[in-house]
Structure 1
Amino acid sequence: MSRRPLTAVAAALLAVSLGVIGATLPVPFVALGPGPTHDTLGDYEGTQIVRVEGLPQYPTTGHLNMTTVSVTDRLSLFTTLWFWASGERRVIPRESVFPSDRTDQEIQDENAAQFASSESNAEAAAVTELGLPARVLVAGVVADSPAAGVLEAGDEIVSVAGQPVASAAEVSDRLTDARPGDTVAIDYRREGTEQQVDVVLGASPDRAQGFLGVRPTVEARDGAIDISLDGIGGPSAGLMFSLAVVDRLTPGELTGGRFIAGTGSIDPSGAVGAIDGVPFKMAKASEVGAEVFLVPDANCAEAVSTAPDGLDLIRVTTLDDAIDQLDALRAGRPTAPC
């Protein structure tokens, strides 16, 4: 065979090899993009996302959609280049999502735990906002803290230092005058049995008062509130879950019949926290018909620069603020823009 045909065959084989490598060889990147969105006032796979039992409920209309970000893993070289060139996804190093010092299963478990915490925090924030009779529970115990090995997640805190507690904030408030080394009595209920334990408080690096080491939350004392949505991870649905609980348990309709979407983590006190992936969440919300998007205050600058046309942005800082903003929107009054 002459040199020219041999060169052509070699080039063809090289091209095929490069094509196979480019199409199949994984690269250390992932792609972020719009993920699923769900109406927290609606159903998921036949089950109501926010279910309430034993408390008065009121009709709701419109939508309160939580939004998510999808992560596409195991990218090939060609797929990565396509996402990068098209702008359809944001390509980032895989290490930033799946750190090499943890297994994929560990990361999935952590995301699931964050989502479960967001569900618990959402209920606590709504219960606190509505002033419902509440039980104060231990959501978690800080490792190696004075409470470790004494209190457990799920324990109901009845009183601290001889004073009853009715909110998560009151657990800390009861320790305002206590100092490291002080012994404090904690009355708690576990599996229906009330018990008391004396705890020697530790030191905290950021405050003078004694450190107990529990993360308190609250749940409704009367009735039951259950928030459930399988297959979702992370903490960013908290705000929308809380709004759905408030909407179901109060007269009138928060949405005024509108399609509202949004994002934001929430803590038991109702403070709304910043999250990642706002541009993708807004894009998906706009795609499915949302008119308004609730944005955590700290995400507003990014949201303004990437918002789809026709999607109105409202800045929120707390659950109470979000409710006020939706009340203003429904009444035709000005809202807080990003």
Structure 2
Amino acid sequence: MPRRTATMLASTLMLIALLCAGVFIKVPYSEMSPGPTVNTLDDHDGQPVLQISGRRTYPTTGHLNMTTVRVTSADYNMNLVEAVYGWLAHDTKVVPHDTLYPDGKTEQQSTQENAEEFSQSQESAKVAALKELGIPVKSWVIVSTVLKGSPAEGKLHAGDVIKAVDGSAVKVPEDVAKLVTKHKPGERVVFTIVPAKEQAAAEKAHKTATETQNVTITTTKSHDTARERAIVGISAATDHTFPFTIDIKLADVGGPSAGLMFALGIYDKLTPGSLTGGKFVAGTGTIDDDGQVGPIGGVEMKTVGARSKGAQYFLTPKDNCAAAAEDTPEGLTLVKVNTIDDALNALKDIRTGKTADLPKCTAKG
């Protein structure tokens, strides 16, 4: 056999051996890729994404698309060949497995957490949009969860409204922990509540629940800190009552990152004219009740997914701008936003053609 042929054969066999080895070598990585992008102003799976009743709505045009990211499952074992391919590909991103599933989080736990975050983001989007429109929203602090085996189990229940702790009025969820931790473990703390059932009945009758109960709980020591900290074993959250019905219908989506786009979609449907002027705008970002926009993960995948569907502009959280600008898809303008007001101002520039005035993302942020 000629030396050249033998060398080529040996090289080919070596390459095959390396590829085979790469297939069987597992690496602790996961993959992210562009997921579906959905127009919040339109239908999805045969029904409107945003359904509003009890209030006048207006026709909309253009796109206000929320964007998503696909990730490999928690139990997926990536091999070396897949990891190398993902690192080289433009439309995928390979990240350490623990980035997506920290502390050994299971697929079920991750799905549940994402569902809870998605539900909360919908509530905050509704509140932010209505506040921007000057429409009053009633809010109060509730018991969100009760830890099994904790001092509060059987005494407080999810949905109970927390009016006060030790006689001090509770206005935001953070007040609860502040007031409880004034105690030492083993001391008693008094919660003034409206039971969840009574609150639900009052809401159904469009009334305000006025009768309260005092519940005394003996605190215990937290095990998540080095210093002694008194707890009762609950988490608190904010609940709202809206003056009309706003339903967000979007299955198989999780996480908080669609909050901004939901808020803008609600605002658009409740106001005359078109926010986009018929343009294709996509975006991402968490939103809180006060309209502050927060960063999200996987922004590079979301910009790719948005542009592939035809987006011209991408509303980008301020803290994601630098990462998004590293590899911006051709034809897509990244618009920096930090609040819902920023987004509304940017949309005004887009629909009026004043795109030179847009606050654009750069590699510096």
**TM-score category (smaller protein):** 0.7 to 0.9
Distance apart, 1:151 and its partner CA = 5.6
Paired residues of 1:25 and 1:77 also in contact (CA < 8 A): yes
Distance apart, 1:253 and its partner CA = 1.3
Corresponding position: 1:140 with 2:149: no
Corresponding position: 1:280 with 2:301: yes
- Sort the Cα spacing of 1:184 and 1:42 in 2 relative to 1 into closer, same or farther, 3 A: same
- Sort the Cα spacing of 1:132 and 1:142 in 2 relative to 1 into closer, same or farther, 3 A: farther
Q: How far apart, in 1, do the equivalents of 2:98 and 2:128 lie?
A: 33
C-alpha offsets along residues 280-336 of structure 1, whole Å, 9 cap, x if unaligned? 111111111111111111112222222222212221111233223212332344232
- Which residue of the partner structure matches residue 58 of structure 2? 58
Secondary structure of the 2:101 match is coil
- Which residue of the partner structure matches residue 92 of structure 1? 95
C-alpha offsets along residues 152-191 of structure 1, whole Å, 9 cap, x if unaligned? 4445x59669xxx9xxx9547999xx89579675557632
- Sort the Cα spacing of 1:198 and 1:325 in 2 relative to 1 into closer, same or farther, 3 A: farther
Kindly report which structure 2 residues correspond to 1:1-338, keeping only aligned pairs within 5 A, or say none. Answer: 19-20=19-20, 22-23=22-23, 26-72=26-72, 73-99=76-102, 101-137=104-140, 138=142, 140-141=144-145, 152-155=157-160, 171=172, 180=182, 185-186=192-193, 190=197, 191-193=200-202, 194=209, 195-198=211-214, 214-220=236-242, 222-333=243-354, 334-338=357-361
Percent of pairs identical after alignment? 38
Paired residues of 2:145 and 2:235 also in contact (CA < 8 A): yes
- Sort the Cα spacing of 1:184 and 1:25 in 2 relative to 1 into closer, same or farther, 3 A: closer
Secondary structure of the 2:212 match is strand
Please provide the CA RMSD for this pair. Answer: 3.9
Paired residues of 2:59 and 2:269 also in contact (CA < 8 A): yes
Distance apart, 1:26 and its partner CA = 4.3
- Which residue of the partner structure matches residue 206 of structure 2? none
Paired residues of 1:160 and 1:187 also in contact (CA < 8 A): no
- Sort the Cα spacing of 1:323 and 1:186 in 2 relative to 1 into closer, same or farther, 3 A: farther
Distance apart, 1:99 and its partner CA = 3.3
The code of the aligned residue for 2:258 comes to A
Distance apart, 1:235 and its partner CA = 1.0
| 5+ residue gaps, structure 2 | 1-10, 184-188, 203-208, 220-231
Paired residues of 2:146 and 2:157 also in contact (CA < 8 A): no
Q: How far apart, in 2, do the equivalents of 1:117 and 1:328 lie?
A: 30
Q: How far apart, in 1, do the equivalents of 2:12 and 2:69 lie?
A: 40
Q: How far apart, in 1, do the equivalents of 2:332 and 2:286 lie?
A: 21
Paired residues of 1:42 and 1:48 also in contact (CA < 8 A): yes
Q: How far apart, in 1, do the equivalents of 2:45 and 2:339 lie?
A: 30
Paired residues of 1:147 and 1:214 also in contact (CA < 8 A): no
| Alignment TM-score, normalising by the size of structure 1 | 0.78
The code of the aligned residue for 1:109 comes to Q
The code of the aligned residue for 2:116 comes to A
- Sort the Cα spacing of 1:150 and 1:134 in 2 relative to 1 into closer, same or farther, 3 A: farther
Distance apart, 1:57 and its partner CA = 0.6
Paired residues of 2:173 and 2:238 also in contact (CA < 8 A): no
| Alignment TM-score, normalising by the size of structure 2 | 0.72
